Amino acid sequence: MRYLTAGESHGPQLTAIIEGLPGNLPLTAEDINTELARRQKGYGRGRRMQIEKDRCNIVGGVRHGYTTGAPVALVIENRDWAHWQKIMGPDPIESDEEVKRTVTRPRPGHADLNGAIKYNHRDMRNILERSSARETAARVACGAVAKKLLDQFGIKVAGHVLQIGEIEANRVEATLDEIRRVTEDSPVRCMDPEAAENMMKRIDRAKEEGDSLGGIVEVIVEGVPVGLGSHVQWDRKLDARIAMAVMSIQAFKGVEFGLGFEAAGRPGSQVHDEITWNEEMGFARKTNNLGGFEGGMTNGMPVVVRGVMKPIPTLYKPLQSVDIDSKEPFSASIERSDSCAVPAASVVMEAVVAWEIAKAMCDKFPSDHMEEMKNAVEAYRRYTREF
């Protein structure tokens, strides 16, 4: 199973094609739209989110509410395209025609300069339009399809925000359903209400100061069978694949599982999770310090993964850079931007983690249709319980 996305931030639309889904998976545009709406919320977003109201059109691979087994094609229109048609249109232009909103001043921390050098563009709009986090709408759409698949097997995914700027949330004991419910009502998708208030105040201050904020997001997946991924080859380790998926989210700079970096400071006796067994459940672990992975394989405990997002590079408080034409130093020009997109990133991270788990399920239980896959998963779950 794989997907590709295409489309620019201010182009006509985002497009995604998903290949390899089993037939007979129930799927509607509404399933996807619910997730798209979740991504659009969040304290700290800029004015663009008032323009967009993301809706997904399914334009291939689904008929009468079920996948057919053919590639699933998804389209999300950019409403803002109406204002950008001349600037972003695909047709050739006259050589003397002035191109509006040409970008020659790279933002520190953005893809602008590296991309311009790599692809030989004097207008960095050719880079920033695609590197923009607008693309995450397409990934959330694909993640919604993955969640729908996981749902068939009782596998649940939830994300929440642990930190924005220097404000850290206290750990709250909660079930996955509680996390889903509470974060949906929190403007910063945080389980700790006091920290949430402080996060919002901190975002207000960053906005006033023309600055931006990053943070930490945690995603938890429950109901995952033992043995997804494999220890036998480096690129089959599922934790490694999830790490790549998380790092591929725009602005993400770090990933950890379970205790993560904290494990470095503890002796082994306080890191490794003791093994238990009972008749009903089979094997389990007393704790989950390793975040659901041993040897690149799931161990049946919840997958717990955290991602670090850097602050968005588009700043109202300009940093120093150099114009690529004049080579003169300048203070970066001011562009419309979000001051904090960490709450939205929580939804994006859920999507990419869900995708990797769904893909690993399809790798382990290759099936042409859902009935076949359900039988295979059920038989395997029985086998693991009885092992």
Q: What value, to the nearest 5°, has the Cα angle with vertex 311 and ends 305 and 316?
A: 160
Give the nearest residue (CB) to ligand EPS: 48
Kindly write down the DSSP assignment for every residue of 272-303, as one continuous string.
Answer: SPPEEEETTTEEEES--TTTTEETTEE-SSPE
Nearer to ligand EPS, 48 or 364 (CB): 48
Whole-number minimum distance, CB 346 to ligand EPS, in Å?
Answer: 13
Least Cα distance to 199 among 255, 252, 161, 173 occurs for 161
Nearer to ligand EPS, 144 or 224 (CB): 144
Nearer to ligand EPS, 42 or 225 (CB): 42
Least Cα distance to 32 among 8, 61, 10, 54 occurs for 54
Q: Report whether 169 contacts 192 (CB < 8 A).
A: yes
Nearer to ligand EPS, 41 or 272 (CB): 41
Whole-number minimum distance, CB 76 to ligand EPS, in Å?
Answer: 9
Nearer to ligand EPS, 43 or 153 (CB): 43
| 209 Cβ neighbours under 8 A, 6+ residues apart | 317
Positive or negative CA dihedral for 218, 222, 228, 230?
A: positive
Three-state DSSP class for residue 263: helix
Residues of this chain that interact with ligand EPS (CB under 6 A) are: 9, 46, 48-49, 52, 80, 132-134, 136-137, 314, 336-338
Q: Please list the residues that pair with 66 across neighbouring strands.
A: 26, 63
Whole-number minimum distance, CB 207 to ligand EPS, in Å?
Answer: 14
Nearer to ligand EPS, 289 or 314 (CB): 314
Whole-number minimum distance, CB 341 to ligand EPS, in Å?
Answer: 7
Whole-number minimum distance, CB 370 to ligand EPS, in Å?
Answer: 31
The Cα–Cα gap between 157 and 147 comes to 8
Whole-number minimum distance, CB 375 to ligand EPS, in Å?
Answer: 40
Nearer to ligand EPS, 67 or 132 (CB): 132
Three-state DSSP class for residue 167: strand
Whole-number minimum distance, CB 270 to ligand EPS, in Å?
Answer: 40
Three-state DSSP class for residue 17: strand
